[in-house]
């Protein structure tokens, strides 16, 4: 899973809207519970000395101890203290181009396969080409640089 938080003062998670039938006020849910689904707010100035769902247990956890108040109806209960980027492994087959669309028995064709390392690590991996369940060829891609 790719998890990157916003670098400015907009939340990285999509808010969920709850409609209240009586006064039609809209309250957005800005977090997804403890300890996931939080956002980084560049103007949050709370402290981080506690932990836990109620932020009342000893020890810091990277989450502000007090909610980030957005407006009178909205708050992020678990604002992040810092901007985190979690590195990911992400290799992809980005293109497969056969030299022919029809090939007869005993004839050959070339297949050009493009792979890309779209993650954050240098990768070594195998690319295997199959015809149905029969392995045609495996190539090892060594030390593919990250994006």
- Closest separation between CB of residue 141 and Ca ion, Å? 42
Residue 62: partners with Cβ closer than 8 Å, 6 or more residues away: 48, 80, 81, 82, 84
Q: Closer to Ca ion at the Cβ: 65 or 123?
A: 65
**Cβ–Cβ < 8 Å for 96, 78:** no
The CA angle 65-40-89, to the nearest 5 degrees, is: 120
Least distance to Ca ion from the beta carbon of 58, Å? Answer: 10
Q: Whole-angstrom Cα distance, residue 55 to residue 90?
A: 34
In the complex with Ca ion, the residue whose CB is nearer, 77 or 91, is 77
Interface residues with Ca ion (CB under 5 A)?
48, 50, 61, 63, 65
**Six-digit token pair at 81?**
């203290």
Residue 47 Cβ vs Ca ion, minimum distance, rounded to whole Å: 8
**At its nearest, how many Å lie between Ca ion and the CB of residue 1?**
23
**CB closer to Ca ion out of 31 and 48:** 48
Q: How many CB atoms lie within 10 A of CB 80?
A: 20
**CB nearer Ca ion, residue 66 or residue 118:** 66
């Amino acid at each position: 899973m790719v998890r990157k938080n916003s670098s400015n003062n907009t939340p990285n998670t999509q808010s969920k809207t709850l409609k209240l039938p009586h006064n039609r006020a809209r309250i957005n849910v800005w977090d997804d519970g403890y300890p996931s689904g939080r956002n980084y707010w560049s103007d949050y100035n709370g402290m981080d000395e506690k932990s836990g769902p109620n932020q009342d247990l000893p020890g810091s956890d990277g989450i502000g101890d007090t909610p980030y108040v957005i407006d009178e109806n909205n708050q992020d209960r678990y604002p992040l203290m810092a901007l985190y980027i979690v590195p990911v492994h992400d290799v992809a087959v980005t293109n497969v181009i056969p030299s022919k669309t029809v090939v007869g028995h005993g004839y050959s064709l070339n297949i050009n396969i493009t792979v890309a390392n779209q993650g954050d690590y240098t990768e070594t991996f195998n690319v295997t080409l199959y015809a149905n369940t029969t392995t045609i060829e495996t190539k090892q891609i060594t030390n593919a640089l990250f994006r």
